[in-house]
Amino acid sequence: MTFDFDLVFERHGTGSTKWSRYPADVLPMWVADMDFAVPPVVVDALRKRLEHPMLGYSVAQDNLRAAIVADLWTKYAWRVEPQQILFLPGVEPGFNMALHALVEPQQNVVVQVPNYPPLRNAPGNWGLNKVELPFNAVDGQFHTPLPALRDALRGGGALLLSNPHNPLGKVFDRDELKAVADICVEQDAWIISDEIHAELCFDGRKHIPTATLGAEIADRTITLMSASKAYNIAGLKTSFAIIQNAKLRERVNSARAGMVDSVNALGLEATRAAYSEAGPWLEALKRYLQANRDYLVEAVKTRLPGVTMTVPQGTYLAWLDCSALGLDDPQGFFLKEAKVGLSAGLDFGDDAGQFVRMNFGCPRALLEEGIARMERSLKART
């Protein structure tokens, strides 16, 4: 079966967050929302579900839990029991629930920066102490400063982990992930692991769920996942937490009271179909995204002087370093002069003002259009 990822859809007027933010002459390449049709099997499943004309409050059925359990085993050799899955309307409510339930006011919450803004801002929602821990950049790779992590977690608290990492596109290898998790065990800190991009790894890499690294680590890990990124169904507001420690699971779930509601009926069905039927589509998507990534890497080298980037190991997000351009506001420059809407680096970290994040999860024609607009805007400066 073949899938046409080159097909461009008109998204203006559809209520799309991505395409509504800027005027119609701006090409939006900011929020993590791909410009591809969802897998045909997901559309078919939704059509079939709508043949039943009732859309009341819904709970996850056994076939959905079974689909997730099977998917986790097939992809990661991770044995999860159906009752260990909590369904949520998003990963963001999940890490906020966990912080609210688990972290004491005197403890620290560590966030590696740069990082996804809602995750970076979550400790402030609960008046918790946030420690922003920059990665060590060495030869274009980003490494966790382990001694600094240990110091920041003394007395417990929590690590908010993003893996694969947004916006760096870093896929943690086993040795680094184990070292990070071991420090959390040593310091009696919780691990809240946002693994929403788990299925989007390139160059043969395999995602390693944090909770698979050992029983002690699993006992203190809240893993947050969703079909939303890989299968492009974020608007259906469905995700899940995997918490294998029963007492921890109950403690976190109790924090949803009055704030975090149930999941919508169509999101549950779309998630089931994605995990149980959309495997061939996902493999084709990953090939397309990797080719887009390579196209962008080459274009940055040859067509965008003054811009550099590290090759993303996963996700469909590129972290572009514009330091050499001498701009006060790279995001503002490209918005005004190129009519390309990128994510501002400052949203991801206080020291990231010279960076922008670009979403390359789009048909090649749109990616080329964005690159060409940026190229013209840089040529016009000289």
Rounded to the nearest integer, the mean pLDDT of the chain is: 97
pLDDT of 382 above 80: no
Taking residues 279-294, report their average pLDDT: 98
pLDDT the model gives residue 258? 87
Domain range summary for the chain, segments of one domain joined by +: 27-39+278-380, 42-277
The residues with which 113 forms a beta bridge, in sequence order, are 134
Q: Which two three-digit tokens encode residue 380?
A: 């016009």
pLDDT in tens, 143-159: 999 999 999 999 999 99
Q: Which two three-digit tokens encode residue 243?
A: 């918490």
CB of 62 within 8 A of CB of 272?
no
DSSP-assigned states of every residue in 216-257:
HHHTTEEEEE-STTTTT-GGG--EEEE--SHHHHHHHHGGGT
Strands (E), the chain: 27-28, 85-88, 108-113, 129-134, 136-138, 141-143, 158-162, 190-194, 221-225, 239-242, 308-309, 317-321, 340-341, 343-344, 355-359
pLDDT of 172 above 90: yes
Residue 139: pLDDT band by 50, 70, 90 thresholds?
Answer: confident
pLDDT in tens, 321-352: 999 999 999 999 999 999 999 999 999 999 99
Report the predicted TM-score, pTM, of the whole model to 2 decimal places: 0.97
CATH number assigned to the domain covering 42-277: 3.40.640.10
CB of 164 within 8 A of CB of 200?
yes
Cβ atoms < 10 Å from Cβ of 74: 11
What distance in Å separates the CA atoms of residue 378 and residue 96, rounded to the nearest whole number?
41
**End-to-end CA separation in angstroms for the chain:** 48
CB of 366 within 8 A of CB of 8?
yes
**Given the structure tokens 């420090």, which residue do they identify?**
183
Q: Which two three-digit tokens encode residue 49?
A: 């579900």
What distance in Å separates the CA atoms of residue 101 and residue 260, rounded to the nearest whole number?
13
What distance in Å separates the CA atoms of residue 113 and residue 349, rounded to the nearest whole number?
6
Q: What H or E segment, with its residue span, contains residue 121?
A: helix 117-125
pLDDT the model gives residue 219? 98
pLDDT in tens, 35-78: 999 999 999 999 999 999 999 999 999 999 999 999 999 999 99
Q: What are phi and psi of 195, to 5 degrees?
A: -120, 35
Question: Which CATH class for the 27-39+278-380 domain?
Answer: alpha beta
Between residues 259 and 309, which one has the greater pLDDT?
309
- Nearest Cα residue to 217 out of 190, 250, 252: 190
The percent of residues above 70 in pLDDT, for the chain, comes to: 100
Residue 6 DSSP label: T
pLDDT the model gives residue 336? 98
- Nearest Cα residue to 367 out of 306, 282, 304: 304
What distance in Å separates the CA atoms of residue 205 and residue 41, rounded to the nearest whole number?
26
What distance in Å separates the CA atoms of residue 315 and residue 357, rounded to the nearest whole number?
12
pLDDT the model gives residue 140? 86
The amino acid present at 229, given as its one-letter code, is K
What distance in Å separates the CA atoms of residue 231 and residue 56, rounded to the nearest whole number?
24
pLDDT the model gives residue 120? 97
Residue 31: pLDDT band by 50, 70, 90 thresholds?
Answer: very high
14 three-class SS: coil
pLDDT of 311 above 90: yes
Residue 217: pLDDT band by 50, 70, 90 thresholds?
Answer: very high
Taking residues 115-134, report their average pLDDT: 97
Q: Which two three-digit tokens encode residue 119?
A: 């995750």
The residues with which 192 forms a beta bridge, in sequence order, are 160, 222
CB of 220 within 8 A of CB of 189?
yes
- Nearest Cα residue to 231 out of 263, 262, 196, 203: 196
- Nearest Cα residue to 3 out of 290, 281, 289: 281
6's CB contacts (< 8 A; 6+ apart) are 363, 364, 365
